[in-house]
């Protein structure tokens, strides 16, 4: 899983540029509240910057962002409805953590407009959810290989993996929301000065890539959860034959094919120029900075695409070896040879990005994963090759001949679409709806009272008090 470097942001007071234009000055006390919630968010981000990864409190960060977003939306919707006026165009300072830059230092950038702060806040929200999933996965350890683990403990850790999957699916939905909704609105808002270039962090291409990467990370954990019981049962006797609890190899192959496709697509998007060349004298990123994301991210995507491609070939080979009978003896060997080749390609090139003291642990965990997968592939390959050489005698097809035998991918779990919360105040908020309803009730009461007295006065001369009054035939 990818571990994001969290950005930091500069201090902002909304009272400096927001002016309450509502008739009853209903938003005056909300503006300082928006400043306070953003200050809390800024403080946690600064503290996180000085804290080692294992001690970072991503859950608190998630809660603070969820508290701030409704206030920011309240200001944005009030500005759109002219209930809050802007004395000057606000500028927000954020560090860009995904941009390719010299000396690996995250540059601070001034971004104009409320949509800019909305974009970066949502981006940080998705980062925090993804890192929270990362910390959960790190806490459960490689429990499937623990021969002494109890069923109850294994199931409890399976449940934790499910929570991490949920966080990643939510992060994927947020990245998609940024790409498909927030950035287009920002582009049409026209708050940016001429020549301003948005950094890759808040480009459509990169956020779409991050959405695909988060979904692929979630699917990877879902596959691990699916294999949990059979991996535990294979500890004593790994290799063929598969235990009865083992999921169908063909299904696992399709799941890994989908992962490889998501990572590959994300990598191509990450290599797409995020912005055109800035005009001479324009503010913002230079053309080189605007078109590239960090090498760590691109490296991660390339390695993961190759790993899942290898795992899909591994399970296609196992499926052919376990269920293909005599006719697929050569195919089993060919797919496993292909998987072995791919794993050896990334065995020594899989350094994962990380920050702080956990960098070495991350790299060692990656190398251990490749080593373990190579050992399993070699085990199956040795067994199937021996069977083919002594029993099946099937020709081993060339790698190019296997391409037509690869099925389509299959998604294990979809992303969770993000729905923006209601504004904390202003049009669209619960408070605004309640106040409007109360005003209508008061108007109806006043109108009803006046209408009744008028009606009685106009009706009394026409309708008598005698029996049958008003009933004429």
Q: Return the closest-CA partner of residue 313 out of 266, 369, 252, 267.
A: 252
Say what the pLDDT of residue 292 is: 77
Domains of the chain in start order, with CATH, are 89-405 (1.25.40.280)
Q: What's the mean pLDDT when you consider all of the chain?
A: 85
Tokens of 407: 């099925």
> How does residue 198 score in pLDDT terms, banded at 50, 70 and 90?
confident
Tell me the C-alpha distance between 86 and 82, whole Å.
9
This prediction's pTM: 0.87
Measured in whole angstroms, the distance separating CA 230 from the mean position of its chain's CA atoms is: 29
Position 450 pLDDT exceeds 70: no
Q: Return the closest-CA partner of residue 209 out of 142, 305, 284.
A: 305
| Averaged pLDDT, 370-376 | 92
Say what the pLDDT of residue 183 is: 94
Q: Return the closest-CA partner of residue 139 out of 310, 361, 401, 312.
A: 361
Position 464 pLDDT exceeds 50: no
> Residue 400's CB: how many other CB atoms inside 10 A?
7
5 burial (CB, 10 Å; 0-12 / 13-18 / 19+) is buried
Position 105 pLDDT exceeds 70: no
| Averaged pLDDT, 161-184 | 97
Tell me the C-alpha distance between 101 and 330, whole Å.
49
Position 274 pLDDT exceeds 50: no
Position 461 pLDDT exceeds 60: no
- Flag the least confident range among 64-73, 89-98, 184-193: 184-193
> How does residue 394 score in pLDDT terms, banded at 50, 70 and 90?
very high
Tokens of 220: 């990877």
First to last CA, the chain: 87
Helix (H, G, I), strand (E, B) or coil at 424: coil
Q: Return the closest-CA partner of residue 132 out of 176, 164, 174, 98.
A: 164
Tell me the C-alpha distance between 425 and 388, whole Å.
71
Say what the pLDDT of residue 383 is: 93
Q: Are 133 and 167 in contact (CB under 8 A)?
A: yes
Q: Are 318 and 329 in contact (CB under 8 A)?
A: no
Q: Please tell me the total number of residues recorded for the chain in this structure.
A: 473
56 to each of 63, 103, 274, 365, 471, how far by Cα in Å? 14, 24, 31, 20, 83
Position 100 pLDDT exceeds 90: no
Tell me the C-alpha distance between 17 and 113, whole Å.
11
Q: 236-258, pLDDT tens digit by residue?
A: 667 788 888 899 999 999 999 99
Strands 84-86 and 91-95: unpaired
pLDDT above 70 covers a percentage of the chain that reads 83
Tell me the C-alpha distance between 364 and 370, whole Å.
10
The phi-psi region of residue 421 (left if phi > 0; otherwise alpha if psi is between -120 and 50; otherwise beta) is beta
Could you give the count of Cα atoms lying within 13 Å of 317 in the half-sphere of its Cβ?
Answer: 32
> How does residue 338 score in pLDDT terms, banded at 50, 70 and 90?
very high
Say what the pLDDT of residue 460 is: 40
Torsion of CA 18, 23, 24, 27, to 10 degrees: -20
Position 356 pLDDT exceeds 60: no
Q: 55-90, pLDDT tens digit by residue?
A: 789 999 999 999 999 999 999 999 999 999 999 999
Supply φ then ψ for residue 363, to 5 degrees: -65, -40
Q: 9-59, pLDDT tens digit by residue?
A: 999 999 999 999 988 888 999 999 999 999 999 999 999 888 876 678 999
Say what the pLDDT of residue 366 is: 86
Most confident range, picked from 18-27, 190-199, 274-283: 18-27
195 to each of 76, 128, 369, how far by Cα in Å? 24, 31, 46
| Averaged pLDDT, 287-311 | 82
Position 119 pLDDT exceeds 60: yes
């Amino acid at each position: 899983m990818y571990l994001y470097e969290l950005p930091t942001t500069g201090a902002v007071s909304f009272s400096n540029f927001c002016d309450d234009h509502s008739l009853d000055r209903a938003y005056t006390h909300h503006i300082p509240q928006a400043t306070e919630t953003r200050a809390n968010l800024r403080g946690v981000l600064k503290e996180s910057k000085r804290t080692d990864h294992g001690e970072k409190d991503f859950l608190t960060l998630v809660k603070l962002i969820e508290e701030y977003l409704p206030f920011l939306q309240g200001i944005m919707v009030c500005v759109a409805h002219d209930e809050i006026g802007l004395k000057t165009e606000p500028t927000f300072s954020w560090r860009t953590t995904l941009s390719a830059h010299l000396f690996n230092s995250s540059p601070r950038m001034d971004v104009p407009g409320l949509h800019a702060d909305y974009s970066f806040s949502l981006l940080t929200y998705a980062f925090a959810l993804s890192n929270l999933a990362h910390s959960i996965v790190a806490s459960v350890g490689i429990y499937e290989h623990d021969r002494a683990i109890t069923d109850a403990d294994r199931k409890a850790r399976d449940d934790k993996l499910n929570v991490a999957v949920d966080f990643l699916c939510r992060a994927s939905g947020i990245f998609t929301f940024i790409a498909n909704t927030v950035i287009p609105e920002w582009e049409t808002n026209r708050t940016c000065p001429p020549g301003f270039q948005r950094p890759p962090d808040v480009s459509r291409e990169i956020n779409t890539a991050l959405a695909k990467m988060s979904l692929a990370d979630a699917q990877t954990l879902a596959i691990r959860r699916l294999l949990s019981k059979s991996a535990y049962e294979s500890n004593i006797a790994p290799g063929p034959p598969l235990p009865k609890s083992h999921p169908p190899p063909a299904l696992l192959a399709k799941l890994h094919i989908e992962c490889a496709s998501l990572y590959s697509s994300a990598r191509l998007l990450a290599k797409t120029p995020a912005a055109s060349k800035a005009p001479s004298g324009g503010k913002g990123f230079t053309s080189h900075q605007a078109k590239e994301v960090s090498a760590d991210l691109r490296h991660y995507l390339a390695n993961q695409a190759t790993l899942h491609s290898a795992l899909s070939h591994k399970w296609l080979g196992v499926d052919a070896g376990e269920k293909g009978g005599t006719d697929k003896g050569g195919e089993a060997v060919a797919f496993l040879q292909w998987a072995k080749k791919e794993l050896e390609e990334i065995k020594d090139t899989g350094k994962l990005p990380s920050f702080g003291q956990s960098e070495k642990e991350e790299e060692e965990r990656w190398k251990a994963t490749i080593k373990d997968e190579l050992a399993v592939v070699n085990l199956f390959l040795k067994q199937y090759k021996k069977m083919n050489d002594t029993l099946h005698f099937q020709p081993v097809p060339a790698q190019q001949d296997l391409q037509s035998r690869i099925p389509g991918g299959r998604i294990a779990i979809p992303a969770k679409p993000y729905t923006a919360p209601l504004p904390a105040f202003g049009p669209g908020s619960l408070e605004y709806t309640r106040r409007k309803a109360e005003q209508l009730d008061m108007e109806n009461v006043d109108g009803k009272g006046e209408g009744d007295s008028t009606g009685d006065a106009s009706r009394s001369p026409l309708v008598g008090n005698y029996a049958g009054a008003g009933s004429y035939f």
